[in-house]
Amino acid sequence: MKMTNKTSSYQKIKTRLFWVIVILVLWEIVAQSGIFPAAIFPSLLVIARALENSIVSGEILLQTAFSLALILQGFLISLLAAILVSSLAAGNKMFNGLVDTLAAIAHPLPGIALLPLIIVWFGTGTTSILVIIVHSVIWPMILNIMTGFKAISPIYKEAGLNFGLNRFQIIKDILIPASLPYVLSGIRIGWARAWRALISAEMIFGAVGLKGGLGWYIFKQRVFMDTPGMFAGIFVIVLIGIIVEDYVFAAFEERTVKKWGMI
């Protein structure tokens, strides 16, 4: 079974690498063809030089670290809050109805749509960005976790009660482990939405104090018409996304839901 999982992961990485190379080759062909001006469609070499210069200067490294710190803070707050709210909703029908209604209202609402209110309430600092991230992340997590709880057969809860487990123990030892595929799906969706919320907020807020993240970095390159620099910032975001998806989430999935035969 382990060999099968390793082979599957290796095959996935090979497939991913193949298509990345294909996309890069097509990009370079278009760039060298002259269909678009080099100022708006630079070659890979020019983008690589822009990225190298930003790494050497340390600018993009500091701004990547700043963005990742905000993402992780907002993501952790959202995950803990989503588990708490979903657990409370699982044990109370009235509260479940409230959470379901709030999710129906807030889930389709983009965080950026709340930006004017957030600025009035929290200003334009890191707190506002964290609020936007939490709003964007928490609702898909709650919906996925609650769906996972509902998908569990009542017989497992009844078995837990027969063994003398209290409500907290049933949630901790039965509901959350049994709904782990749904939780993992919610985490993946939340991660993607967190990045979109963060980059959008940073582009609008600009630097927070004397600092700024990748959104601010990309925005600065646009102001100075540095197209290779913009693509360098986008490349870093894509690279982080691939690493987290293929190594962090995939490793967690291999060691839990796949190992346990849940998917």
pTM (2 d.p.): 0.82
> Is there a domain that residue 39 lies in?
no
pLDDT higher than 50, residue 161: yes
* 104-133 per-position pLDDT tens digit: 888 888 877 888 888 888 877 788 888 889
> Is there a domain that residue 106 lies in?
yes
211, β-bridge pairs: 208
Our count of domains for the chain comes to 1
> Is there a domain that residue 45 lies in?
no
Q: What percent of the chain has pLDDT over 90?
A: 24
pLDDT value at residue 48:
94
Contact 91, 167 (CB under 8 A): yes
Structural domain boundaries, residue 98: 59-151+181-255
Q: Which burial class, exposed, middle or buried, applies to 194 when counting CB atoms under 10 A from its CB (0-12, 13-18, 19+)? A: buried
> Is there a domain that residue 43 lies in?
no
Q: What is the 3-state secondary structure (H, E, C) of 22-91?
A: HHHHHHHHHHHHCCCCCCCCCCHHHHHHHHHHHHHHCHHHHHHHHHHHHHHHHHHHHHHHHHHHHHHHHC
pLDDT value at residue 2:
47
Higher pLDDT, 199 or 255: 199
